[in-house]
Structure formats: C-alpha cells, structure tokens
Structure 1
Amino acid sequence: MNEMHWRFVSNLNAGDDGLNDAGIETFTANMTYSLVRETIQNAIDAKNKENQNPVIVEFNDFYIKPTEFPNNQEFIEILGKCLASNKGDATTVEFFEHAISVFSQSIPVLRISDYNTCGLEGAESGLKGTKWHSLIKSSGSSNKELNSGGSFGIGKSATFSCSDLRTVLYASKDSSGIDSYIGVSRLVSHEEESGKWTVGKGYFTESDKMNAILESFSLDGYIRNEPGTDMYVLGFSELDNLKYNIIESTIKNFIVSIWKEKTDSEI
C-alpha cells in the first residue's frame, strides 16, 4: 500500500493555475450564506429516496491542533512552495503568508454532515459519472437530475471560499456501507525541487490515481453510523456570527423545503 500524502501532479508545462479561481470567487462576497445554501441544496439532491425522513444537515465548528492536520509538515512545505513560486503576485503572497500562519495556533474547522442521504457512492472505484467523482474530481459538469435545485457543479466551490487553506476533507459512508475519505486542496501551481511545475489542485490520498482512502475518518471524534457525507472545511474563516448566518441562509433559501418536511438543519 502506498503512503498517504498530499499529491500535486505535474502540469506538463501547460498553463499555470492561479489563486483567482472563478468558481471560488463566485462565493466570496457572502461566504457563509453561500456555503449553507449550496451544501443544503446538494444534500437535498443526494436524498436517499428509500428513506421517508427529511434530509438533515448538521453544522459543527471546533478546533484542531496543527499536528492533527493530515501530514501537516508536508502541507506547510507545499504552502511555502506556492509562496516562493509566486513572489511577483502581491495578492498570492499575502494569501499564502496568512495560510502558513494558520498553523501557528489552533486551526478552526467546520464539519458539515448530512443524513438520510446516499453518501458518496462510487468511492471504491472512482469512476467518472459516480457521485464521488462528480464531487471530488469533476469541473464544469454535474450528474444531477434535471429537476434538482443545484447548479452545474459550481456549488461545491463554496466550501473552499470559506477556507483560509483552500482545503476540504470529504468523508462518507455510502448506501452499501463503504467508508471513504479524501482531502482536496485548491491552491496554485508551484515549482517542485525537480524544476517541474504542478497543477493547482491536489489530493490527500494514498493512490497515484488520486482515489479515495477506503477507511472511516474523523477530526473531532465524530463517528458516522449511517449513510451520508461529512465535509471538513479546514482553516474555516467565518466564525463570527456563524449561528446567525446559518439560520438566516437556511430560512431564506429553504423555508418551503422545511415546511414540506424535506429538509432540516442542526447547529
């Protein structure tokens, strides 16, 4: 079995990925509001149709020690490479200087968990077209049904807009009982010691194919016993008025769904 670590592949001397990701920038004006709207909508779209109970989405904030961040030293080195490789861009330099400083103290995390859903089916294969592949790897595409309420895949960027590390860990138990997790980091292209440049998107995985790790995962002692998905937003940046913002976005966007008992949220 290969070692678990953060993997950023070569860009093969093609185009570089910068910090101004269009998908992420879409949600920066009102980050928590957008995060709540998009994650609840995605959970509703993933409802287990054999379960008559409403979808429940839980938001739980907590802190971890820097050493609890998966392969923290390796990740800090990657942040340093991103900084050193983009010295001419003041905005990028400021972002990565702050990202590195996040590891000097306890790191805020927001866990978003859904229930009465199907989980990320397809994690064991990683095949294109599965729910797992659509969330973790696809860009500009969606496997949602035409009558679903979400956008064409852009909503998953909302979680990254709220992360000072542009990093999210996804854990899931699917309807077959398969546990999986993987980390996704949307940084910038950076130069490796070999002189080769990377793409901006990397994964915490044990596979060169960037597949899921088929184990359960938790950062706060939480244990999932039923199908669903847990998203850990690492370096969560919107702690101020968090409860109010969650309530406001939930009511404004899902009052009809709540009234019809299709969804509910817990804080």
Structure 2
Amino acid sequence: MNKVYPDAKSALDGLLKDGIMIMSGGFGLCGIAETLSDAIRDSGVKGLTVVSNNAGVDGIGLSRLLETRQIKKMISSYVGENKLFAQQYLAGELELEFNPQGTLAERIRAGGAGIPAFFTKTGVGTLIAEGKEVKEFDGQKYIMERGLFADLAIVHAWKGDTAGNLVYRKTARNFNPMMATAAKVTVAEVEHLVPAGEIDPDHIHTPGIFVKRIIEVGTAKKRIEFRNTRPRPAA
C-alpha cells in the first residue's frame, strides 16, 4: 500500500466529516502538525472535537480553526496562551473539557492500547471528579477516566520513511507518539522523507503499522510561543 501523498489536501481526502474527533499532536508550538491543520481549515469541515494539549497561540496552528468556528469542543490541559480560545469559551461558544496534563496523556495512551477506562488519584476531591465514578483501592480514593480514541490523528515528525515509520526530534516527541496509536487513521507530516529501510529500527519511535498516510513538508518553522525580553543596557 502506498502511504505517501503529494500534499496535505490529498492525504486528508475522504477522512474529514462534520462532527468527527481529531487528535492533534504537539506541545505549545513544538511538534504541531501545522500543514495538516491548515488543510483541515481549508476543507471547511465543522463541528469538530479536537484533542490537543493546547490550542497553540493566536493565528498559528489550531487557533486558525478557532478563527473559522470549525471547532465545537476542545479536550485539553492548557489554553493560557490563546486569547481567542479564552474569548470563545467565556462567551459560551466553545465547549471545553479540561484534563490534568498527565491524565490527558494517559487517556490517549489508554485509547491506543485498547483500554476503555482507568482509575487515577489525580483530581480526587476537586472539580475534575464531578460526575465521575469514584472507587477505593487500598484505602485510597480514585476517579475513573475514560480512554480516548479518535477518528483521525494528525502528527508531526522530524523523519519518516515510505512505510510510515516515524522519528520525532527532541521535545517534538511529546503527545505525537501516543496520538499516532489512538485513532482510526493517523496522517503524519514529516520534515524529511526517506526510503523504507533507511531508518535504524532501534531509532523508530512510531512503527509504520500505526501510520496510514504520510506527506513531506520540509524543515519546520522555529516559532517562539512566548517571547520574553529585557531592555538593552545603556551604552
């Protein structure tokens, strides 16, 4: 099966429908599938539930889908750098399911492993626990969290081969590996595409069996999520 597609639009052809759940890899602006998320925006699909650690920053990545009101619900752990996200949520225009970051990671990992639910101490006795089943193990209370499994996952990798094997570079190895396992179809964008067999098997982070489609996007832009500077000293 040929997994390599010429561009993001063709790689997503037949996968996008109104109301689906999409997992989008990345952390802040590191390792985000920006080319694929822009193609989702251009498709006009709407009513989306998006699972992502955050929604990027204004004007970049998933935030562009918020601009066009294509996202109905976000399942995230942090949204502090996105003013548009906050505005839509506070105005009641966007649903938000907040998760502690570790819980979100485990919900995705569990979904990819075929685990429908698990128990965790994180959030016991807080708003996080409202409406969730609580059980006691060894004298300690735990809340039940559901695993997550999406219709589509979009991930960004540093290198990939034509068989779909992926290698992530440094911090970009964040939510991407977990999300690649936790969807019906995973589409990967890679900076460097090489022939099958060229990547050392010991260096592969995501085996190609999880990746159905792949595109080459070239070297990713090195964006700064939050620029913090200080005045230059007087001469």
TM above 0.5: no
TM-score by length of 1: 0.23
**TM-score, normalising length: structure 2:** 0.25
Q: Which of the two has greater strand per residue? A: 2
From the two aligned structures, give the one with the greater helix fraction.
Answer: 1
Instruction: Flag the structure with more relative contact order, 1 or 2, with Cα contacts below 8 A and sequence separation at least 6.
Output: 1
